[in-house]
Structure 1
Amino acid sequence: MRSIVSSDFLKVQGTGLVNENGEVVVLKGTNLGGWLIQESWMCPVNGIDRQWANLDSIKALKSRGFSDEIILDLYNTYQDNWITETDFDELSEMGVNCIRIPFWYRNFMKDDMGTYWNEEDMDNNPGFKRLDWAIEKAGTRGMYVILDMHGCPGGQMMDHCCGTLGKNELYDSHKYRQIMEDLWVKIAERYKDSPVVAAYDIMNEPQNNRGYKGEKSWDPDSDEAISRTISVYDQMIKAIRRVDPKHVITIEAIWTMNNLPDPRDYGWTNIMYQMHLYDTDKAKLDEKIDELYSAMINYGVAGYVGEFNNGPNEEYAMQQYNKWGISWTTWAYKGAKQEQGNNWFLWIDKKEVADVTCNSFEEIKRKWGHQVQTISFHKNSTIAGLISRYTR
């Protein structure tokens, strides 16, 4: 594949994406999940699924006397190894033209108060160094990236996948919303001229609260949840547009497209609406795809399935996304703690788990070192075959 150049800059036109030459582009690829934000069920870290989040790991290390700098060193070791340049070669060879990159605010900040690493020098901020590197490696291989704020300050849901657990404090906190806005503005200022960046993904799965209890565990379909979510979207979109009028912005519905408004009512432009589909029933899949395509037609937005695993109907789902011109990225590229036959990931294995509550610095460093490089994982030929088939 050739490198992405300035004429490849994407925008929404009609119900899809086009580059500056007017050529239609449908994004097809995967998520680099577990790289910049760990989820205990898929990463080599202790903690029971849905009972342990990335922030719990940081707090456990700090409680043991590990300094911020030592904790950063451990995560740098992990991130250096979880995704390497070889992974970009692998994806390019499969025909992938887009990678969604989940990250969280703590990649850039050392605390919950919005204190950036290297405050005066964003070029040496660990979060921007990771994104800069990924954008460069993807772009030279003809692949776009979608920048996904998977974890927002204060948490945008009750679920662990945002890096916190049981908080969901973003919406009613001026402090957290301002920290989030400041980070998005910094991101937009840095990448506003990059054609490799396909879209800014404002926040992952807002109000993913079902199954949790607590004052802020609003039902995702309730007026309380929807109004708060749209309020944050509106704030972030307007802030980004002040510094970057060009990039596509994607916002997510959870779990129905009925939770997103007509963007024209808010003055939102160049918008791609997004769903995550984990339904395994074909009829349910058809219903959700129809919801998304109807929004594309009625609202003049592009459509995107940012995450999906559809079990026995994975191939059917890919066929339908391609049929209707819907962009897609599978969840996810690789997973540790996985048995053979697991079709959630392109690369799978069961790796030694680093227990941050008791393992030594040296032991965590070893477990997050070479063993988590993809070369030591097993390739899932089923998922690899589907991705190769439907990206071309």
Structure 2
Amino acid sequence: MKNTTKRFLCGFAIFSFLFTQAQNCWLTTKGKNIVNASTQKNVILRAVGLGSWDLQEGYMLHPGNCKGCAPGPQWTMKKIYYDQGVSEEKVAAFYQKWRDNFITKKDIDYIASLGFNSIRFPMHYDVFLTKTQRKVRNSIILDTIQNYEHYQDSLKTWLNHNKLFTKANLEGFKMIDNLVKWCKANHMYIILDLHAAPGGQGTDKNIADTFQKNGLWKHQIFQDVTDKLWDEISKKYNNEPTIALYDILNEPNNVPGGGKTIHPLLQRLINTIRKNDSKHMIMIEGNGWGNNYNNLEPFTFKNNKGLVYNAHRYWIDPMDDEILDKNPNQINRLVNLIAFRDKYNVPVWVGETGENNNEWLSQNIQKLERNNIGWCHWTYKRFDTKENAALMHITGTFPSEGKEVMNEVLEHIKFKNCVPNLNTIKAVTKDIPKGDTTGCNN
């Protein structure tokens, strides 16, 4: 009896510790700041984006300006393999192995060792489909016009019969679960980013794996599917404090009607999430690759508690950061970003920045840190023959070289075979406070 009591008390103590730790990890908004919900301590989220893990972006698959050899959307990479006689099953197996090898616990441990306290996970919605459903989507690659319409009809049928995103063992949920486990072990937070939305959220082919420009805005079914996805994600993870933010729609761009067109869908997604989840912060991204907030200001949204506003900063002349854009809702310049934050008393976060020389990267991060603005470096690793603006580069053969190098590529993307970009790492991390990542380490 005594041993039983001791085991019970020990188990209860462990449970109480873990419960208390989890409660102390929640983040929330307080005025224009992101804070720890328990301590009210200010938190600056310093993140790395895991580009190409779930969604391959064509320019990352081949170095330099290689015209005709680097595909744009991910589906054109698959088409290279199909056209070379690789079966659908083998292509699917390749992409499964790609996901298994590209990011592992070793990668997350390494990112944490550099001082980052969070990870932005760019998600492709198709990994939340079943294998059978994904096969229907991939059939568009073989007959774009006919099968595109068939896929939309299939989505309607699956949605009407509650067959979308409802299985617990879907690949997308496995990836999130692994990331939660790895990040929790490193006291890190996660930003879930819907990077490739159903139908495609703009005209940029790289970021959304689109078959048709602005498909999300042209076809109602894609908006319905997007809503269903966030419904299921927010149900499953509503009590997981390791997840800091839901980034509900990455980089809408060249959307006809701009914010007026985008607003109804964002409001719908906010309402859906809030039915399931009152705790997690929700990040808004505007038109123009997440920078323009005409008709998307905080006061235009109902249920707007816990909103965070986003900017993506690439190749901005440092001098321009001091000159107000004539449109106060265009917030990628630092002076506009700060003014927007202060005017609306809402937190802002730079969801992507990078892809520049080291001098620019360094001055950019220094300015953001001085102004209490969190940021996310894009990207963690990508293919190249030399150092680039990612934290690491993948050497050797490139996916665009075709079926003959598929197995080599899968080996080269492993953590042990990637090469740190030491000068880039120094430029990006030298201003991160040492020993104070403000991660979930209470």
- State the TM-score, normalizing by the size of structure 1: 0.86
Q: From the superposition, tell whether residues 49 and 200 of structure 1 become closer, same or farther in structure 2 (CA, over 3 Å).
A: farther
Q: Could you tell me which residue of structure 2 aligns to residue 15 of structure 1?
A: 32
Q: Contact (CA 8 Å) 1:15, 1:302: kept in 2 or not? A: yes
Match of 2:185 among 137, 140, 145: 140
Residue 298 of structure 1 aligns to which amino acid in structure 2?
A: K
Question: Which deviates the most, 291-300 or 124-133?
Answer: 291-300
Alignment of 1:55-74 (within 5 A): 55-59=75-79, 61=81, 64=85, 66-67=87-88, 69-74=89-94
Q: From the superposition, tell whether residues 243 and 104 of structure 1 become closer, same or farther in structure 2 (CA, over 3 Å).
A: same
Q: Contact (CA 8 Å) 1:107, 1:127: kept in 2 or not? A: yes
Q: Alpha-carbon deviation of 1:341?
A: 3.8
Match of 2:55 among 13, 34, 37: 37
Task: Give the Cα–Cα distance (whole angstroms) in 1 for the partners of residues 182 and 62 of structure 2.
Answer: 25
Report the 3-state secondary structure (helix = DSSP H, G, I; strand = E; otherwise coil) of the residue aligned with 1:122.
Answer: coil
Task: Give the Cα–Cα distance (whole angstroms) in 1 for the partners of residues 97 and 236 of structure 2.
Answer: 25
CA deviation string 1:138-182 (max 9, x = no partner): 111011010000001110011122112552110132100001110
Task: Give the Cα–Cα distance (whole angstroms) in 1 for the partners of residues 90 and 67 of structure 2.
Answer: 21
Match of 2:101 among 75, 81, 87: 81
Q: Contact (CA 8 Å) 1:347, 1:374: kept in 2 or not? A: no
Match of 1:194 among 210, 232, 240: 240
Q: Contact (CA 8 Å) 2:201, 2:214: kept in 1 or not? A: yes
Report the 3-state secondary structure (helix = DSSP H, G, I; strand = E; otherwise coil) of the residue aligned with 2:264.
Answer: helix
Q: Contact (CA 8 Å) 1:94, 1:387: kept in 2 or not? A: no
The answer to whether structure 1 residue 263 and structure 2 residue 298 are counterparts is yes
Match of 1:234 among 247, 263, 267: 267
Match of 1:292 among 298, 312, 337: 337
Report the 3-state secondary structure (helix = DSSP H, G, I; strand = E; otherwise coil) of the residue aligned with 2:403.
Answer: coil
Q: Contact (CA 8 Å) 2:71, 2:77: kept in 1 or not? A: no
Report the 3-state secondary structure (helix = DSSP H, G, I; strand = E; otherwise coil) of the residue aligned with 2:200.
Answer: coil
Q: Alpha-carbon deviation of 1:42?
A: 0.8
The answer to whether structure 1 residue 277 and structure 2 residue 322 are counterparts is no
Q: From the superposition, tell whether residues 164 and 49 of structure 1 become closer, same or farther in structure 2 (CA, over 3 Å).
A: farther
Q: Could you tell me which residue of structure 2 aligns to residue 327 of structure 1?
A: 374
Task: Give the Cα–Cα distance (whole angstroms) in 2 for the partners of residues 56 and 65 of structure 1.
Answer: 14
CA deviation string 1:5-38 (max 9, x = no partner): 3211111111111112211111002101010000
Match of 1:304 among 332, 349, 352: 349
Q: Alpha-carbon deviation of 1:187?
A: 0.8
Q: Contact (CA 8 Å) 1:44, 1:368: kept in 2 or not? A: no
Could you tell me which runs of 5 or more consecutive residues in structure 2 were left unpaired when the two chains were aligned.
1-17, 138-150, 324-332, 434-442
Q: Contact (CA 8 Å) 2:308, 2:346: kept in 1 or not? A: yes
CA deviation string 1:294-321 (max 9, x = no partner): 2211222111111112533211110111
Task: Give the Cα–Cα distance (whole angstroms) in 2 for the partners of residues 340 and 391 of structure 1.
Answer: 25
Q: Alpha-carbon deviation of 1:197?
A: 0.5
Question: Which deviates the most, 150-159 or 378-387?
Answer: 378-387
Q: Alpha-carbon deviation of 1:57?
A: 3.1
Q: Alpha-carbon deviation of 1:44?
A: 6.3
Q: Could you tell me which residue of structure 1 aligns to residue 411 of structure 2?
A: 370
Question: Which deviates the most, 258-267 or 366-375?
Answer: 258-267
CA deviation string 1:262-311 (max 9, x = no partner): 22222222011001010241022344112111221122211111111253
Superposition RMSD on alpha carbons, in Å?
2.7
Report the 3-state secondary structure (helix = DSSP H, G, I; strand = E; otherwise coil) of the residue aligned with 2:116.
Answer: coil
Query: What count of residue pairs does the alignment treat as equivalent?
Result: 370
Q: Contact (CA 8 Å) 1:248, 1:270: kept in 2 or not? A: yes
Question: Which deviates the most, 308-317 or 15-24?
Answer: 308-317
CA deviation string 1:57-84 (max 9, x = no partner): 34555675734x5433211101111111
Q: Alpha-carbon deviation of 1:49?
A: 7.8
The answer to whether structure 1 residue 5 and structure 2 residue 22 are counterparts is yes
Match of 2:219 among 169, 173, 187: 173
Q: Contact (CA 8 Å) 1:104, 1:149: kept in 2 or not? A: yes
Report the 3-state secondary structure (helix = DSSP H, G, I; strand = E; otherwise coil) of the residue aligned with 2:60.
Answer: coil
**Bigger radius of gyration among the two:** 2
The answer to whether structure 1 residue 359 and structure 2 residue 403 are counterparts is yes
Match of 2:277 among 244, 248, 254: 244
Task: Give the Cα–Cα distance (whole angstroms) in 2 for the partners of residues 44 and 50 of structure 1.
Answer: 6
Q: Could you tell me which residue of structure 2 aligns to residue 221 of structure 1?
A: none
Q: Identity percentage over the alignment?
A: 25
Q: Could you tell me which residue of structure 2 aligns to residue 182 of structure 1?
A: 228
Q: Alpha-carbon deviation of 1:47?
A: 8.5
Q: Contact (CA 8 Å) 1:307, 1:330: kept in 2 or not? A: yes
The answer to whether structure 1 residue 386 and structure 2 residue 421 are counterparts is no
Choose between structure 1 and 2: higher helix proportion. 2
Q: Could you tell me which residue of structure 2 aligns to residue 214 of structure 1?
A: none
Task: Give the Cα–Cα distance (whole angstroms) in 2 for the partners of residues 30 and 170 of structure 1.
Answer: 27
Task: Give the Cα–Cα distance (whole angstroms) in 2 for the partners of residues 350 and 23 of structure 1.
Answer: 42
CA deviation string 1:183-218 (max 9, x = no partner): 1111111111111101000111101x4xxxxxxx64
Residue 66 of structure 1 aligns to which amino acid in structure 2?
A: S
Task: Give the Cα–Cα distance (whole angstroms) in 1 for the partners of residues 213 and 52 of structure 2.
Answer: 20
Q: Contact (CA 8 Å) 1:277, 1:285: kept in 2 or not? A: no
Residue 24 of structure 2 aligns to which amino acid in structure 1?
A: S
Q: From the superposition, tell whether residues 317 and 134 of structure 1 become closer, same or farther in structure 2 (CA, over 3 Å).
A: same
The answer to whether structure 1 residue 98 and structure 2 residue 118 are counterparts is yes
Q: Could you tell me which residue of structure 2 aligns to residue 108 of structure 1?
A: 128
Q: Contact (CA 8 Å) 2:86, 2:403: kept in 1 or not? A: no
Q: From the superposition, tell whether residues 34 and 106 of structure 1 become closer, same or farther in structure 2 (CA, over 3 Å).
A: same
Q: Alpha-carbon deviation of 1:225?
A: 2.1
Q: Alpha-carbon deviation of 1:330?
A: 0.6
Q: From the superposition, tell whether residues 159 and 229 of structure 1 become closer, same or farther in structure 2 (CA, over 3 Å).
A: same
Q: Contact (CA 8 Å) 2:61, 2:70: kept in 1 or not? A: no
Q: Could you tell me which residue of structure 1 aligns to residue 148 of structure 2?
A: none
Q: From the superposition, tell whether residues 182 and 260 of structure 1 become closer, same or farther in structure 2 (CA, over 3 Å).
A: same
Could you tell me which runs of 5 or more consecutive residues in structure 1 were left unpaired when the two chains were aligned.
210-216, 219-223
